[in-house]
Amino acid sequence: MNYQEALTKGTKILKSNKIKSFILDSEILLASSLKLDRSRLLLNLNNNIKKNQKEIFFNFINRRKKNEPVAYILGFKEFWKNNFKINKSVLIPRPDTEILVDQVLKEIKKNETKQILDIGTGSGCIILSVLNERKNSFGYGIDISKKAINLAKNNAKIQHISNRIKFLHSNIDNYYFGKYDLIVSNPPYIKLSDISVLDKDIKFFEPNLALNGGVDGFSKIRKVIKKSSILIKKKGKLILEIGFNQEINTKNILKKNGFYINRIVKDFSGINRCIVSTKL
């Protein structure tokens, strides 16, 4: 069997299992099985696939056909300027979340030394991307999931920034450590009743802990804002990711907790996705 034949077969299996991106996914999974990049694969379609590579590839295809996201199968996801190790204990980093990184960077000059807290850090993708761009700043990342914290630490090590970041396994309720110039968070904000209508890729594979925002979708947003108002320095910035239609309520919660709203930033589909605010 050559690469082309393997691809055709993989594509067919994914298509018949209603995986929308069946061609791209087959190509990515085959390239990974062969340890080639995708362009190399596509330039060498007549090469023969080895037995062990074929086994790996069809094992990947069998996972993908049951809706497991490609990023979990590969074990990494590209975010901002790096590949992040991921697994099922963390959310897959989303392109929309890069907006948070961008907004944080707007608030910190290149050589400034700031103390930054990331609440619900997951893979660490937000805080590590920021620290990679701001070499004099220091980061703190907390997460309720011990497995997430282990993964984030691993990502810090791979990117050689372990000396400027502390990852701590902690619930936000029990965290009273430090005062921060800037706090960033992408909290779980999906309304409980909306979780069952999410894509199968998300609802069957991504951690409920990272998605579930309680009955009204605001339970974690509220917690993060309340606690941030204690942990943040005066004039410090709080930068939050929010979901569809959550802008007005979030603004009100922020105002009640002593924050001034600086701006709302839209995501790539035009949805209000990020709120930048300042503690008065």
Give me the residues that bind ligand GLN (CB under 6 A), please: 91, 94, 186-190, 202, 211
Q: In angstroms, what is the minimal distance from the CB of 5 to ligand GLN?
A: 36
Q: Are 13 and 51 in contact (CB under 8 A)?
A: no
- Least separation in angstroms between residue 125's CB and ligand GLN is 12
Query: How many angstroms separate the CA atoms of 94 and 97, rounded?
Result: 5
Minimum separation from the CB atom of position 57 to ligand GLN (A): 28
Nearest to 213 by CA among 183, 184, 185, 175: 185
Q: Report the nearest approach of ligand GLN to the CB of residue 219 (Å).
A: 12
Among residues 96 and 133, whose Cβ is nearest to ligand GLN?
96
Q: What's the closest the beta carbon of residue 187 comes to ligand GLN, in angstroms?
A: 6
Cβ at position 147, least distance to ligand GLN in Å: 17
Pick the closer one to ligand GLN by CB: 3 or 80: 80
Least separation in angstroms between residue 189's CB and ligand GLN is 4
DSSP string computed for the chain: -BHHHHHHHHHHHHHHTT-TTHHHHHHHHHHHHHT--HHHHHH-TTSBPPHHHHHHHHHHHHHHHTT--HHHHHTEEEETTEEEE--TTSPPPPGGGHHHHHHHHHHS-TT---EEEEES-TTSHHHHHHHHH-TT-EEEEEES-HHHHHHHHHHHHHTT-GGGEEEEE--GGG-----EEEEEE----B-HHHHTTS-HHHHTTS-HHHHB--TTS-HHHHHHHHHHHHHEEEEEEEEEE--TT-HHHHHHHHHHTTEEEEEEEE-TTS-EEEEEEEE-
| Token pair recorded at residue 252 | 């009100």
Q: How far is the CB of 11 from ligand GLN (least distance, A)?
A: 26
Which is closer to ligand GLN, CB of 34 or CB of 254?
254
Compare residues 105 and 192 and give the one whose CB is closer to ligand GLN.
192
- Complex with ligand GLN: residue 99 or 161, whichever CB lies closer: 99
Output 158 or 265, the one with its CB closest to ligand GLN.
265
Say which residue the tokens 């947003």 belong to.
221
Q: Which residue lies nearer to ligand GLN by CB, 6 or 151?
A: 151
Cβ proximity to ligand GLN, 136 vs 208, nearer residue: 208
